[in-house]
Amino acid sequence: MSTTVATATTTPRSTGPSTAESIWLVAEREIASKLRSKVFLVSTGILFAIALVAVVWGSIAAQTRTDTPVAVTSQTASVVDGLTGIKATEAPSTAAAVAMVKKGSVDAAIVPAANGGAFDYQIVAKDSAPGALVSQLSQSPEVKLLEGSTTDNILRYFVALGFGLVFLMAASTFGGTIAQSVVEEKQTRVVEILISAIPVRTLLAGKVIGNTILAMSQIVVFAAIAIVGLSITGQGELLAGLGGPVVWFAIFFLFGFVLLASLFSAGGAMVSRQEDVGSTTAPLTILVVLPYMLVLLFNDNPLVLGIMSYVPFSAPVAMPLRLYLGEAAWWEPLLSLVILIATCLGAILIAARIYRNSILRMGGRVKLSEALAG
């Protein structure tokens, strides 16, 4: 007698997208919605046009710059022979040449070296030695400053302004857009459909990643405009000095933007109306604007600038500026980046908790203590 065993054929269950696929789907949705927005495209085009105009203006300013006035003596007159962009005036003596510097009639004086130094001559300047003069000398002579350096030159200010404006515009523009997008999804109940298919954290991650990709794309275009523009307009020296700091700026910008995007998403989840977005995002806007203003105002203060280069909200601007100025040791950007990444991870965890506990709560504004407590 034989026994027949019936076996059931099982069909594999259809599974939904993985976490990574879900995150990318949300990111694609964010990118597509921005690229369809005329406001976003027009504002981006205006920013790129401003960057191009700045490069062209810098080239015109460099070409129309007058020669650097320098005082020399009969013993040092031969030093400036053949130098370009230098207007030499011979003084009857070393004391007379130094007096011209003090009066401000010349930017620097080249006088015989005192006390039998290693060089035959030295540069005497009031607060900073003219770069156009020092860079053309075959040797690096001793530099004697009559006053402490104030380091408030125009180039320093504009480099600080450039880094600061790019980070400020990207963070504030995208941050506000992210918060408004979250509120819009709450108002239209779209978020209820989304989180029925994917986890809340996945939705938050996709929104942050999508906007980060767009922001980093803008940075790449800005860098391309700067590199091509400076190369074409013959500003190679400035480009060579900005190369490393720009790379560091892009790295700091990446983590700094993720930090702010996460917090803006959480701020948007705490309200249910577009009119209330400002009440939760205003403190975040201050965290973006205040450090930018401090870096800009104190760009010539090494102490304040050094402190700001370790504060996560100002490090993306302050640290690249210090690297450009040569005021930061090799290990300082690494330490600052570690602090920024640690702060970024902490902000993501807090933002995810606020977002999860607030996204489905309609009505009035959710208090921060309630959002954190769940």
Specify which residues 201 forms β-bridges with: none
Q: Is the pLDDT assigned to residue 151 strictly greater than 70?
A: no
> How confident is the model at residue 342, as a pLDDT?
96
Mean pLDDT of the chain: 81
Q: Distance between CA 169 and CA 240 in Å, rounded?
A: 25
Give the strand order in the sheet containing 68-72. 86-90, 68-72, 108-112, 121-125, 142-145
pLDDT at 152 over 50: no
CA–CA gap between residue 329 and residue 323 (Å, rounded): 8
Q: What is the rounded CA–CA span in Å between residue 226 and residue 249?
A: 14
Spatial CB neighbours of 97, under 8 Å, sequence gap ≥ 6: 71, 72, 73, 91, 106, 109, 110, 111, 124
Residue 74 sits at φ, ψ, to 5 deg, of -65, -30
Average pLDDT over residues 47-70: 72
Q: What percent of the chain has pLDDT over 70?
A: 83
pLDDT at 234: 65
Judged against a pLDDT cut of 80, whether residue 11 lies above it is answered with no
pLDDT digits (tens, 9 = 90+) for 235-260: 666 666 677 888 899 999 999 999 99
Checking if the pLDDT of 139 tops 60, the result is no
* CA dist., res. 157 & res. 160, Å (int): 5
The pLDDT of residue 141 is 60
Dist. CA 35–CA 54, nearest whole Å? 25
Whole-angstrom Cα distance, residue 212 to residue 191? 21
Cα–Cα distance, 208 to 259 (Å, whole number): 9
Q: Which of 48-52, 181-185, 233-237, 305-309 has the lowest mean pLDDT?
A: 233-237
pLDDT digits (tens, 9 = 90+) for 91-116: 888 888 888 988 888 888 888 877 65
Backbone angles phi, psi at 72, to 5 degrees: -135, 165
Cα first-last separation, the chain: 66
pLDDT tier at 64 (50, 70, 90 boundaries)? low
